[in-house]
Structure 1
Amino acid sequence: MRFKLLILFSSFLISFCHPELHSREALVSVERVSKAKTSFVSIESNAKAIDEIIIKSEIEGKIIEIFKNEGDKVKQNEVIAVVKDIKYLAKYKSAQEKLFSMESKLKKSSLKLERFNELFSKEIISNQEYEEALYDHNSSLSDFNSLLEELKQAKIELDNCYIKSPFNGIISNKYINLGEFVSKDSKIVEITNNEKIEIPLYVPKNYLLFINEGDPVEVQLSGGRKYSSKISKIVRKIDKSLGTFLVKIYILEKNDIISGEDVVVVLSIKPPINSYRVNKDSVNNEDGKKIIFKVKNNIVYPVEIVVVDLQDNYYIATGQIKENDIIVVDGNESLRPNQPVKILRYLK
């Protein structure tokens, strides 16, 4: 009898010390699952003019006229400055005269060849005489072509005395002064067209699957200025050292954005289909998996989820969950599958 009482007492102690052996009701706080919504990400960048160029001198000489200064607007093909052209004008006229002289010689050799060709066909002149006439004509033609190229080059150099803008814009930098000597490749001016703006964005790689070309964006600038635009280009290559990929925004309509100006671009991040917001506190990490507990009829069931994004204190996740599912947010650390629970409160 004493032995049986000892066994019963031991069982009672084990039961008391290990209540998990019995199915007990856990006290939990819960929250309803909601559908994932579009989120917004702000990324800082700098505006960059698509058309921006430093014009360099193609010739050497003295600056004798400057028509534009920093901040001035220029139109395409408008003259900005002039290099003294006396040397290049003389070179051009000399090339013209030599070409005209050679043109006259070429006409004579052409007429002679035509006449000799007829005489040779009638066997009035020898083959050697015909070959000599042909050689003279070909030599004159070669000299004419060489002089023609020389004239073209002289014309280019003469035109380069008049430094022009390749597109509409403003003079953003001026590197010359009146009367100074410039050599070939000397900087003359920098021209910027702020009407065509490119904004490069370096976006975290976890958003690569959630944005597409054509998605709307908002460009925010100082002074409360805003522009609506869209994603123009996505370079789908991840920079492993930075963990980002490149996105480009183009603003091609008229604007007051200045090249080099700081901007903030707000991207719309669309969640995947059938993805949901799951409170971070509801997630247990078990063997590399993310587990939540769904509540149904006051019983909990473990469900694995896949996290695709993080928004504030919520994961954006997919898995065997749906909108309005009730999940445990507080008290989930020690839950077991199929354990009964008592809901103390709904957090949402």
Structure 2
Amino acid sequence: MKKTVILLVVAITALSISCSVSGRGGTKDKGKDKKEIVVPVQVEVLEKGPISSFILSSGTVEAEMSVDIVAETTGVVEKLNVEEGDSVKKGQILAVVNFEELKLSKDKAEVALKEAENTFKRTKNMFDRQLVSQEDYDNARFNYNQKKLDFDNAKVKYDKSMIKAPFDGVVTERFITAGQFLPMNQKAFSLVNRDLLKVNVFIPEERVRELKVGMSANLVSEAAKQTFKGSVKRVSHIVDPSTGTVKVTVYVKHDPNIRPGMFVKVRLLTDTISDALLVPKKAVVYLNDRRYIFLYDAKTKEAKQVELKIGYQDEIQFQSLNKDLKVGDQIIVAGQNGLKDGAKVRLG
């Protein structure tokens, strides 16, 4: 029994020594297998280029010249000459109302005027030769003037029977149909001049000093996926006390793809720097309301963290004001999230 106990103790001791040796060997192997993490990144080279300062706003495109054309006479619409979407010229006849009746009245008045004019001329000739009395002369002159007035009135009514375009433009709406009875002053058509479009925007009063008439503007339509050119036409001298803004009117350069009613974002270009050092926004990491970028050091294969100081910016880039950045520096644009200053990186 005593011999058995001794053998058991020896066996346990040997097993403990074996485990201890094995454990030390395992720790040593893990130390050998541990490798430093190298983060794959992508870089771009810093370059100089133009960047602009601008004021952002938005608004709806309107026609500077737009009008609702109303009937100036009463009667039946006898003829329609245009449809919605048609381009028309100033003075073009869009529709006629009670035309035949008013034309007949004008023609009759014209004939009566011609007769009265001839009678007056004969009477005056005879009066000059003292062949007729003063009363005959006065009656002939009065009759001529009356017939002239009748003709003028008939011609005005006749002219009003023709609904005409007051300026070149496009018919945007038609409110009447052929054969309907049209009361006076009823709306017949809407007309806009698409060659002269505008957008009214409202700019905070503290930025109005940056604006001037004639400065360039870009109008971006997300729906049309297009950018249109424009310029500042008017800057109001009045501040709206309820909003603290000033009305600015931007004229849109003629383009067949821009239409009244379109919603656009407006960028008023206040300044441009032609040789700014540009940092792509995709390279920037934000931390505690600060902007950081990482430079790639080709010698040490490390990432160097730099706090970015900015000037102007647009949708895709910042102007860098950092004195320690220069053209040709390699900036990390992918893989920088989670990096720390001095982290090992590789291109890939």
- What is the TM-score when the length of structure 1 is the normalising length? 0.58
Q: Distance in 1 between matches of 2:174 and 2:69?
A: 10
Corresponding position of 1:165: 165
- SS state at 1:208 partner: helix
Corresponding position of 2:105: 91
Which of 61, 68, 72 does residue 75 from structure 2 map onto? 61
Corresponding position of 2:276: none
Q: Is residue 201–residue 248 contact of structure 1 (8 Å, CA) maintained in 2?
A: yes
Q: Within 5 Å, give how 1:133-172 maps onto structure 2.
A: 133=134, 136-172=136-172
Q: Distance in 1 between matches of 2:104 and 2:157?
A: 11
- SS state at 2:260 partner: coil
Residues 1:111 and 2:125 aligned together: yes
Q: Distance in 2 between matches of 1:184 and 1:78?
A: 20
Q: Within 5 Å, give how 1:224-263 maps onto structure 2.
A: 224-263=225-264
- Aligned pair in 2 of structure 1 residues 144, 230: CA closer, same or farther (>3 Å)? same
State the shift of 1:324 in Å.
10
State the shift of 1:143 in Å.
3.6
State the one-letter code of the partner of 2:175: Y
- SS state at 2:199 partner: strand
Corresponding position of 2:64: 50
Superposed CA deviations along residues 152-180 of structure 1, whole A, max 9, x for unmatched, are 22123223323222233222111111211
Q: Which 5+ residue runs of structure 1 have no aligned equivalent? A: 1-36, 120-128, 272-309, 313-322, 326-348
- Aligned pair in 2 of structure 1 residues 112, 251: CA closer, same or farther (>3 Å)? same
- SS state at 1:108 partner: helix
Superposed CA deviations along residues 274-316 of structure 1, whole A, max 9, x for unmatched, are xxxxxxxxxxxxxxxxxxxxxxxxxxxxxxxxxxxx999xxxx
State the one-letter code of the partner of 2:128: E
State the shift of 1:110 in Å.
1.3
State the superposition RMSD in angstroms. Answer: 2.9
Q: Distance in 2 between matches of 1:157 and 1:171?
A: 24
Corresponding position of 1:202: 202
Q: Which 5+ residue runs of structure 2 have no aligned equivalent? A: 1-50, 273-310, 314-320, 324-348
Q: Distance in 1 between matches of 2:178 and 2:104?
A: 23
Q: Distance in 1 between matches of 2:145 and 2:197?
A: 45
Corresponding position of 1:80: 94
- Aligned pair in 2 of structure 1 residues 139, 254: CA closer, same or farther (>3 Å)? farther
Q: Is residue 207–residue 269 contact of structure 1 (8 Å, CA) maintained in 2?
A: no
Q: Distance in 1 between matches of 2:250 and 2:139?
A: 58
Superposed CA deviations along residues 16-35 of structure 1, whole A, max 9, x for unmatched, are xxxxxxxxxxxxxxxxxxxx
Q: Distance in 1 between matches of 2:140 and 2:245?
A: 64
Identity of aligned residues (%): 22
State the one-letter code of the partner of 2:248: V
Bigger radius of gyration among the two? 2
Paired residues in the alignment total: 227
Q: Distance in 2 between matches of 1:258 and 1:236?
A: 28
Q: Distance in 1 between matches of 2:258 and 2:145?
A: 50
Q: Within 5 Å, give how 1:266-285 maps onto structure 2.
A: 266-270=267-271
Corresponding position of 1:215: 215
Residues 1:100 and 2:98 aligned together: no
State the shift of 1:214 in Å.
1.3
- Aligned pair in 2 of structure 1 residues 249, 137: CA closer, same or farther (>3 Å)? farther
State the shift of 1:145 in Å.
2.8
Q: Distance in 2 between matches of 1:264 and 1:153?
A: 52
Superposed CA deviations along residues 46-86 of structure 1, whole A, max 9, x for unmatched, are 11112211111111111122232222333333332222323
- Aligned pair in 2 of structure 1 residues 101, 263: CA closer, same or farther (>3 Å)? same
State the shift of 1:150 in Å.
2.3
State the one-letter code of the partner of 2:64: I
State the one-letter code of the partner of 1:243: G
Q: Distance in 1 between matches of 2:197 and 2:176?
A: 27
- Aligned pair in 2 of structure 1 residues 212, 82: CA closer, same or farther (>3 Å)? same
Corresponding position of 2:33: none
Q: Is residue 74–residue 98 contact of structure 2 (8 Å, CA) maintained in 1?
A: no
Corresponding position of 2:10: none
Q: Distance in 1 between matches of 2:241 and 2:106?
A: 57
Q: Is residue 80–residue 164 contact of structure 1 (8 Å, CA) maintained in 2?
A: yes
State the shift of 1:45 in Å.
0.8
- What is the TM-score when the length of structure 2 is the normalising length? 0.58
TM superposition outliers: structure 1 runs of 4+ over 6 Å: none
Q: Is residue 228–residue 253 contact of structure 2 (8 Å, CA) maintained in 1?
A: no
- Aligned pair in 2 of structure 1 residues 232, 115: CA closer, same or farther (>3 Å)? same
Q: Distance in 1 between matches of 2:243 and 2:185?
A: 37
Q: Is residue 208–residue 236 contact of structure 1 (8 Å, CA) maintained in 2?
A: no
Superposed CA deviations along residues 93-125 of structure 1, whole A, max 9, x for unmatched, are 221122122112211231133123xx9xxxxxx
Q: Distance in 2 between matches of 1:203 and 1:141?
A: 66
Superposed CA deviations along residues 206-228 of structure 1, whole A, max 9, x for unmatched, are 11211111111111113221122
